[in-house]
Amino acid sequence: MRNVTKTFGTGDARTQALKGVNFDTRLGELLLIVGPSGCGKTTLLSIIAGTMQFDSGEIDVFENRLHTMDKPAITDFRRRDIGFIFQQFNLIPTLSCLENISVPLLLNGVSRRDAEARAREAMKLVGLETKTREHPTNLSGGQQQRVAIARALVHEPRLIICDEPTSALDKDTGAKIMELLHDVAKAPNRSVIVVTHDTRIFRYADRMTEMEDGRVQRVHESYTDYTNEQET
């Protein structure tokens, strides 16, 4: 990402959410992004995922040059290459958990039967195999979050983007999910980007990026680099 800017609103209501963001993600890594509320983290993730337009700058995700692509091309890219775990989960209340998780596969042309079989496997991975027929509204916050995680992983996207993936999870479940995401990042040609305030999961980071006021201020080559700096 090079010099990416994004402004919301006009006149008095104008907010410059991103003021020229530069950073890279490496293949095979779990990159953690930290920073205060309102510094632009969700905006940044939405732009990388192709769900939000940006004003200027350049973004390359694998061989995709987002700044040169039209809407249909970006939609294809998003369906194929991106798994997104939203801060607010964004599950579809009228569908069962299994159907929610099948959606990314159906959008990619997988048959319903195969989609449901793979969705069932994904539900096992996040420990929810008994909830396939349940609707998301009947689940706890942490269970809904795990459905959202299964949905983001089920089509084996190359880039997985997670906005506070452990916010609704207890310590043990959060650790399990981070281990899962860390394993996913190590599969060939994958990367995982995680935004978090949860200090309990910092230790899963391969690198840490600090955002502040619409900019990436610093990149730490490891979690220990980051904690050493916090202490000094």
Ligand X SMILES: Nc1ncnc2c1ncn2[C@@H]1O[C@H](COP(=O)(O)OP(=O)(O)OP(=O)(O)O)[C@@H](O)[C@H]1O
Judged by the rule CB under 5 A, the positions of this chain that interact with Mg ion are 41-42
Helices (H), the chain: 41-48, 71-81, 97-107, 112-125, 141-153, 171-186, 223-231
Partner that binds at residue 15, options ligand X, Mg ion, none, CB closer than 5 to 8 Å by kind? ligand X
Binding map of ligand X across residues 150-179, x = CB under 6 A, - = no contact: ------------------------------
Enumerate residues 6+ apart whose C-beta is below 8 A from 124: none
* Closest separation in Å from C-beta 149 to Mg ion: 17
Residue 191 sits in the site that holds ligand X (CB under 6 A): no
Binding map of ligand X across residues 11-30, x = CB under 6 A, - = no contact: ----x-x-------------
* Closest separation in Å from C-beta 121 to ligand X: 31
In this complex, which beta carbon is closest to ligand X, that of residue 37 or of residue 130?
A: 37
* Closest separation in Å from C-beta 103 to Mg ion: 23
DSSP secondary structure string, 15-81?
EEEEEEE-----TT-EEEEE--TTSSHHHHHHHHTTSS--SEEE-EETTEEGGG--HHHHHHHHHHH
Question: In 3-state terms, what secondary structure has residue 216?
Answer: strand
Residue 37 sits in the site that holds ligand X (CB under 6 A): yes
Amino acid found at 176 = K
In this complex, which beta carbon is closest to ligand X, that of residue 138 or of residue 199?
A: 199
Structure tokens at 144: 């809904």
How far is it, in rounded angstroms, from Cα 31 to Cα 86?
16
* Closest separation in Å from C-beta 197 to Mg ion: 9
Residue 40 sits in the site that holds ligand X (CB under 6 A): yes
Whether the Cβ atoms of residue 28 and residue 185 lie closer than 8 Å to each other? yes
In this complex, which beta carbon is closest to ligand X, that of residue 90 or of residue 94?
A: 90
Binding map of ligand X across residues 71-90, x = CB under 6 A, - = no contact: ----------------x---
The position carrying tokens 């706890």 is: 140
**Sites of contact with ligand X (CB under 6 A):** 8-9, 15, 17, 37-43, 87
